[in-house]
Amino acid sequence: MTNSSDVKLNSAGGGRISRKPDLMNDIVFTKLPKSQVRFEVTVPAEEVLSFKEGAARALAERLEIDGFRKGKAPYDIIKQYVGSARVFEEAAYIAMDKKYQAIVAEHKLRALGSPKVEILKIAEGNPLIFAVTAAVYPEVKLPDYKEIAKQCEKERVPIEIKDEEVEKAVDFLRHSRRKEALVSRPAQKGDLTEVDFEIRSAGVKIEGGESKNHPIILGEGKFIPGFEDGILGARAGEEKEFSISVPEDYAKESLRGKKLDVKAKINVVYELTTPELTDEFAKIIGNFDTAQAMRDNIRDGLKAEKEAEEKERMRNFTVGKIADAAEMEAADILIAQEINKIISELAQSVQAHGADFESYLAHIKKTKDDLKKDFAKQAEKRVRISLVLSEIAASEQIKLDEEEVKKRMEETMARLRAEDAGKIDADLLRDYVSGIMRNEKVFEMMKL
């Protein structure tokens, strides 16, 4: 055996990779692009041989040897069964694994994923020489993040709630309490109608061009322009045929400028009555003493919502500027993981809207590989931001209270459905919650 790139070693450790070549124990670290490090290791022959019995036991656990239970065959029997060379090879793998983990711990490497291992020299009775190439957490050189935060503060947008915004919310509440009354008169603006219709273009039914008992409030303009005008004045049970010309700026591009032929039957007509904003209405809606108290409450709610949105925008804007100014080389493995996370988030969003993700991809004419290319820059940005927030937290010696972390974890679990909560990995949840809490403390420190 002269080479191997698929030896499975365990990643471990914490802290950061040394910023200088490390010559301790005759191990020389070579820094490579994309936040990688390579080091060659020499293991004395006698040290490799010290693992032979452990190697034999490991092999015995995987072998079926007549007359012995798994893992119970003695060393000599195992060596005879698989050959001395196979036992030595296994011992070499164990030696490499142990050595790698010791190096990671001693030199505080924050290794990412599984390393690539090259066996440079392996022969019984001689030193074992191997090289490891591993991705590590990047070194991050922070800019003057407090000064950047101070400059970004100039971009904060003052919060203003206009009277028309309050009235729009009031109207929404009034319309949510509209009452319906069945009428036999001709349909007029403001009425709710239920309509059967069929729409064709040049004799061909258009996509989505047929429906039964379709609710339409006349005058709201939420349907194809001209359609509501065509059924104005019709009574329940009446059938109408008419044509409409679709404007050139219509939202649905495939219908722009086309002439559409419509067959419609008005099934029912309801008169809608919208209540006025009175003190009595305010009491019904939210137990407010007066209509003005309800308006004030709506204004406060709109202000709080806008303030939260502006706070989130400023945080994203500021940390984005800091990340742009920071010096680092994000490891490819981190970017790949973030791309997969973005795609997973997209899939969950699509499924939450009742659609199949594969069907969605077919609809937008994209493959997952296309999405990976599309999201590469976004993923790199997110990785840079995450690393910057982590580095600022370390620089400011931000600590988390363990009891607060546990409480937040419990609150997060409480919001999940029982079947989902049972699938949550506690360690991953802790990392997720701790990351959010750490970021919050960073933002608070920068007054964001």
432 or 81: which carries more pLDDT confidence? 432
Where b means 16+ CB within 10 Å and e means fewer, 394-421 reads eeeebebeeeebeebbeeebeeeeeeee
Strand partners, 268: 194
- Average pLDDT (134-144) is 90
Evaluated on CA atoms 328, 332, 333, 334, the torsion sign reads positive
User: What pLDDT shows up at residue 8?
Assistant: 36
CB 149 within 8 Å of CB 447: yes
User: What pLDDT shows up at residue 193?
Assistant: 95
Task: Report the distance separating Cα 338 and Cα 381, nearest Å.
Answer: 10
- In this structure, what token pair is assigned to residue 281? 């209405």
E strands of 24-148, at which residues?
A: 29-32, 36-43, 111-121, 128-136
Q: Name the CATH superfamily housing domain 24-136.
A: Trigger factor ribosome-binding domain (3.30.70.1050)
User: What pLDDT shows up at residue 414?
Assistant: 84
Give 109's DSSP letter.
-
| Residue 268 host element (H or E) | strand 259-273
> For the chain, how long is the longest CA-to-CA vector?
104
Task: Report the distance separating Cα 145 and Cα 155, nearest Å.
Answer: 16
- Average pLDDT (156-168) is 94
Evaluated on CA atoms 392, 397, 402, 404, the torsion sign reads negative
User: What pLDDT shows up at residue 426?
Assistant: 84
If we measure between CA atoms, which residue out of 140, 133, 137, 129 comes closest to residue 108?
137
Q: What is the pLDDT of residues 250-307, one digit of tens each?
A: 888 888 899 999 999 999 999 999 999 999 999 988 889 999 999 999 999 999 999 9
Listed by start position, the domains of the chain span: 24-136, 178-273, 315-445
Alpha carbon dihedral 423, 426, 428, 429, in 10-degree steps, equals: 90
Per-residue confidence band for 199, with pLDDT thresholds at 50, 70 and 90: very high
Per-residue confidence band for 182, with pLDDT thresholds at 50, 70 and 90: very high
H helices of 183-290, in order, are 227-231, 279-286
Mean pLDDT of the chain: 86
For domain 178-273, give its CATH number from 3.40.50.620, 3.40.50.920, 3.10.50.40, 3.40.50.9100.
3.10.50.40
Task: Report the distance separating Cα 321 and Cα 355, nearest Å.
Answer: 36
Share of the chain above pLDDT 70, in %: 88
Task: Report the distance separating Cα 440 and Cα 398, nearest Å.
Answer: 11
CB 235 within 8 Å of CB 186: yes
- Average pLDDT (27-32) is 80
pLDDT tops 80 at residue 17: no
- In this structure, what token pair is assigned to residue 345? 């988030």
143 or 418: which carries more pLDDT confidence? 143
CA Rg value for the chain: 34
pLDDT tops 80 at residue 215: yes
381 or 13: which carries more pLDDT confidence? 381
Burial class, 190, CB count within 10 angstroms (exposed 0-12 / middle 13-18 / buried 19+): middle
If we measure between CA atoms, which residue out of 142, 252, 136, 266 comes closest to residue 201?
252
User: What pLDDT shows up at residue 359?
Assistant: 87
Q: Which residues contact 316 (CB under 8 A, 6 or more apart)?
A: none
**Class assignment of domain 315-445?**
mainly alpha
Task: Report the distance separating Cα 387 and Cα 392, nearest Å.
Answer: 9
CA angle 186, 189, 191 (to 5 degrees): 70
- In this structure, what token pair is assigned to residue 371? 């999405």
Share of the chain above pLDDT 90, in %: 52
If we measure between CA atoms, which residue out of 175, 9, 224, 178 comes closest to residue 95?
9
Of 90-104, 106-120, 418-432, give the lowest mean pLDDT range: 418-432
Q: What is the pLDDT of residues 218-236, one digit of tens each?
A: 998 888 899 999 999 999 9
Amino acid identity for residue 418 in this structure: A
Per-residue confidence band for 20, with pLDDT thresholds at 50, 70 and 90: very low
CB 156 within 8 Å of CB 310: yes
CB 166 within 8 Å of CB 299: yes
- In this structure, what token pair is assigned to residue 289? 């003493």
